[in-house]
């Protein structure tokens, strides 16, 4: 039974070790027959909590 897997890379640098590890995890899940969505945060604008 295929599962849905979401892999989130939080590294802000392209080609970092963390991103490579996340991509390998996603590939392993895909190779095992699961549906994988890969999300990277490096292109996103993230702000600190303002305590509102």
pLDDT at position 39: 95
pLDDT at position 51: 87
pLDDT, one tens digit for every residue, the chain (52 residues): 899 999 999 988 888 999 999 999 999 999 999 999 999 998 888 888 888 8
What residues have CB less than 8 Å from 30, skipping those under 6 apart? 36
pTM of the complete model: 0.77
Q: Smallest Cα–Cα separation from 22: which of 9, 3, 35?
A: 9
Give the C-alpha separation, 40 to 43, whole Å.
7
Q: Please give the helix or strand (H or E) that residue 25 lies within, else none.
A: helix 17-31
pLDDT at position 26: 98
pLDDT at position 13: 87
pLDDT at position 40: 93
């Amino acid at each position: 039974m295929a599962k849905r897997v979401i892999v989130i890379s939080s590294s802000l640098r392209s080609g970092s070790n963390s991103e490579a590890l996340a991509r390998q995890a996603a590939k392993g899940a895909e190779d095992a027959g699961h549906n994988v969505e890969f999300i990277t945060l490096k292109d996103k604008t993230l702000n600190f909590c303002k305590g509102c």
